[in-house]
Structure 1
């Protein structure tokens, strides 16, 4: 990862990074398909597995996103939350408050049914943690989706509050 210019905004504490991940609603993944850059917003779940941050995404069974995720190429990702514009007297005095995480990693398809179920449970836990719901996932539903993982290789976190 490149060195962060604003070190005063850098977050390195893993627990704080996980709190920020918990606040984020969308993970944007950027691909380069050899000709074009393609960025797609995705619902996600995550876990720390073998000391490495792993994101999980679900998808329909076909499409451009599926083709790019299945290739296993290096990708970029970005998450952000806590946005607030701070007004100033003139344009140059305006500022923005935010929390963001960016990084790179590699994707792979989760194919084993037990692993797919675990990945989907991680995803559902991310969105239901506030409600405490634990929706059931019928095994039949796993057959109609594809699950992908992104193992983060590098990441940086920045907060300006």
Structure 2
């Protein structure tokens, strides 16, 4: 299935890189831990990074009761957020044509606050399990006081698009004989071996779900 192209989500610059397929867009979202959210607060523009979780066509974020971003989003009831994965740096003979290979997603959605404890817990569970799969089953759940002090927002994805660049460096023909190194520097994020904190170091074994997560991420 694809997101229908509209004025708001249609990629104009670099249209050949555009992707509207939902499964491909969601796979990019699921590979990242942090999204960047744009909002207006006191008539000033802001962009804030935040961890998130996705379940089907819903994205969940959280914040404190006085968090300016969550309050601003609830006021407008809509949001634009972005994620980007850098895959390679492309160095060319000319300064002008240096570029990168990447996968990026732009999401447009509606926003509402979850108010029941059941819904808030489901949203927080989605965020935690997005960080590390199954982590919710291996940690203490939020208590009443913590839930009361936390806003959980549900973003319904209305439309989206992705841009994917995966091409070699491109120089103009006139520059090909210049004696400057040209090529690609692949970029890979590495998840290192887990480090136990001082209280868990000698009494709590690193659980398999964490070791499996690190192994899977480093494939």
Q: TM-score range by the shorter chain?
A: 0.7 to 0.9
- Report the alpha carbon displacement of residue 46 of structure 1 after superposing the two structures with TM: 1.0
- Residue of structure 2 in register with 1:57 after alignment: 61
Rounded Cα–Cα distance in structure 1 between residues aligned with 2:36 and 2:28: 15
Contact 2:53 2:59 (8 Å CA) reproduced = yes
Aligned length: 155
Secondary structure of 1:77's counterpart equals strand
TM-score, length basis structure 2: 0.64
The structure where strand makes up a greater share of residues is 1
TM-score, length basis structure 1: 0.85
Q: 1:67 to 1:123 in 2, by over 3 A?
A: same
Please list every run of 5 or more consecutive structure 2 residues that lacks an aligned counterpart in the other structure: 1-7, 167-219
- Report the alpha carbon displacement of residue 31 of structure 1 after superposing the two structures with TM: 1.5
The reply on whether 1:113 has 2:117 as its aligned counterpart is: yes
- Residue of structure 2 in register with 1:159 after alignment: 164
Q: Which region of structure 1 is more displaced relative to structure 2, 32-41 or 103-112?
A: 32-41
- Residue of structure 1 in register with 2:10 after alignment: 3
Structure with the bigger RCO (C-alpha within 8 Å, sep 6+) is 1
Contact 2:102 2:164 (8 Å CA) reproduced = yes
- Report the alpha carbon displacement of residue 2 of structure 1 after superposing the two structures with TM: 4.6
The reply on whether 1:28 has 2:36 as its aligned counterpart is: yes
- Report the alpha carbon displacement of residue 33 of structure 1 after superposing the two structures with TM: 4.2
Secondary structure of 2:66's counterpart equals coil
What RMSD, in angstroms, separates the aligned Cα atoms of the two structures? 1.9
Task: Please tell me whether Structure 1 or Structure 2 has the larger radius of gyration of its CA atoms.
Answer: 2
Rounded Cα–Cα distance in structure 2 between residues aligned with 1:65 and 1:3: 26
